[in-house]
Amino acid sequence: MRKISVLSAILLTACVTINIYFPAAAAEKAADEIIKDIQKNTPQQTEPKPKASLPDWQVSVYQLIDNAINVVVSPAQAEEANLAIDSAEIRQLRATMEARFASLQPLYAAGYIGIQADGLLAVRDIGSVPLKDRNQVNKLVTAENADRQNLYQAIANANGHPEWTAQIKSTFAGRWVSNAQSGWWYQSSGSWKQK
């Protein structure tokens, strides 16, 4: 009898597993929001397309079918995955990056700096940067990269999953390029390309 209860306990605990998956879609949405806020790009508003209307009798039939199915099979109450991007540390990093962007924007436009494949900034060709500005450009790039790394860690921590830092960084890497303005440089397949 004791063997059966031990076996039952083992089977019961084996059936209870919790899988926490990285919310990739939510991370992309959060990255876009943060990047657009930092760069003060307002998202383009699209006009919703008007829906084709159905005759009343068809709507009634669809509602009856839907209600009948819901009686047999309960509707799933899935909650959309969300990623927390609001904490004191995140707000501070965003504010610092937003303030710095005014200094970075002309450097992007001149082609002095670009976005690497990992989403961090790099000075593309130090020789093209005027000698008097080189130290300042390097300092700006270093500070921005440090804040980006800290932002990814802060987002992971705010969500209770510090192990997500690498995935958040990877998500942001793609979104930095997607949100880059025309004329900015980015790395793709090891070479620099202009958007």
Task: Flag whether 111 is in a domain.
Answer: yes
Regions of the chain with pLDDT less than 50: 6-7, 9-12, 14-19, 42-52, 74-80
- Please tell me the predicted confidence (pLDDT) of residue 82: 76
Task: Flag whether 168 is in a domain.
Answer: yes
List the domain range (segments joined by +) for residue 134.
Answer: 88-194
What are the residue ranges of helices labelled H in the chain? Answer: 2-15, 24-39, 56-72, 88-110, 134-158, 165-178
pLDDT tens, residue by residue, 96-110: 999 999 999 999 999
Task: Flag whether 121 is in a domain.
Answer: yes
How many structural domains compose the chain?
1
- Please tell me the predicted confidence (pLDDT) of residue 194: 95
Task: Flag whether 56 is in a domain.
Answer: no
Give Dmax over CA atoms of the chain in angstroms: 84
- Please tell me the predicted confidence (pLDDT) of residue 40: 87
Task: Flag whether 128 is in a domain.
Answer: yes
| Under 8 Å between Cβ of 128 and 112 | yes
Task: Flag whether 66 is in a domain.
Answer: no
